[in-house]
Structure 1
Amino acid sequence: MSRAKRRDRHGRGLRGPLAPPEVPISLTRSEKFDDLVREEVQRIVAPWSERLAGVEFAVEDVPQPDPDETRVPLSATRTVDGTPRVVVFRRPVESRAGASGQGERELVRLIRDLVVEEVAALLGVPPEEVEP
């Protein structure tokens, strides 16, 4: 007869979460990344809100494979049902930022640069005009 393992081995009850849900430590890596992108988009798009009113911003884990492309894109602008959509790809961006050894500061800088480049391309202006 086999015994099933129980999580409550010593009669103390099941373990609860280590931190309450509203504490930042309980956010996953993808949720933290989403928050970083959201903050940068809000900051960069604010002065251009009228011209970028119909633009959507999104985060995807990885880009769709393209046999013609030799490099992995970090971001892209697509048109979905006539609406421009700027997409930042989480895994390639995290990989690139992690390779530098700078951590979150490099991740934020890279996200900022990507959003600035995509917004500048949509507006038809140089990146320096979007983010001096």
Structure 2
Amino acid sequence: MPRSRRALAPAPSARRGIRDRHGRGLRSSVAGPYLPMLRGRIELFDTTIASTAEYLRGLWPGELSAMTIEIASAPHDALHGDHVDRWTVRPHDNRIVFYRVPIQRLSKLHRNDEVHQRLMVESCVFRAVAELLGKDPWDLAPERFRHF
């Protein structure tokens, strides 16, 4: 005689806030316990902005020690006729706001891989910091580009 599914189901647990699918317990990570966690676009973007800003702070400690960097998803006034803002520089607050969606989605890359995406984000940081300091982006780290 077949048993009903109701008899096989475990008793409901006392903790209701945890997601428990059909009595199988909590879900594990997609990468598994032995592999590193996967990085998403947002985490990669945030890490690239932070590491590039710290690199520039190391090169220009006097000018960039009070610089504040913020990341927003998109600007409030996005369209300006011929372009979309990718960052906003506020020199009186010594603050730069980067907009993730325009940088990631509207940038034209000849090869869309992680290296070129990272270089695009780094170039935006260099250009925004140069705008804040009133310098040319190539003058911020001249030794970085001399490989010979």
TM range (shorter): 0.7 to 0.9
Alignment of 1:69-84 (within 5 A): 69-70=80-81, 71-78=83-90, 82-84=92-94
Tell me which of 45, 63, 66 is aligned to 2:75. Answer: 63
Number of aligned residue pairs: 121
Separation in structure 2 between the aligned mates of residue 97 and residue 78 of structure 1, nearest angstrom: 23
Q: Which moved more, 1:83-92 or 1:101-110?
A: 101-110
Alignment of 1:36-55 (within 5 A): 36-55=48-67
Structure 2 gaps, min length 5? 1-18, 143-148
Separation in structure 1 between the aligned mates of residue 37 and residue 54 of structure 2, nearest angstrom: 20
Structure 1 gaps, min length 5? 1-5
SS at match of 1:86: strand
Over alpha carbons, which structure has the higher Rg? Answer: 2
Aligned match of 2:123: 113
Could you say what the CA RMSD is over the residues aligned between the two structures, in angstroms? 2.6
Higher share of residues assigned strand: 1
Distance 1:75 1:60, change over 3 A: same
Distance 1:18 1:49, change over 3 A: same
Separation in structure 1 between the aligned mates of residue 55 and residue 75 of structure 2, nearest angstrom: 25
Q: TM-score, normalised by structure 1?
A: 0.75
Q: Does 1:103 align with 2:113?
A: yes
Are the equivalent residues in 2 in contact too, given 1:41–1:115 (CA < 8 A)? yes
Aligned match of 1:14: 26
Aligned match of 1:3: none
Aligned match of 1:90: 100
Are the equivalent residues in 2 in contact too, given 1:93–1:107 (CA < 8 A)? no
| Deviation of the 1:85 alpha carbon | 1.0
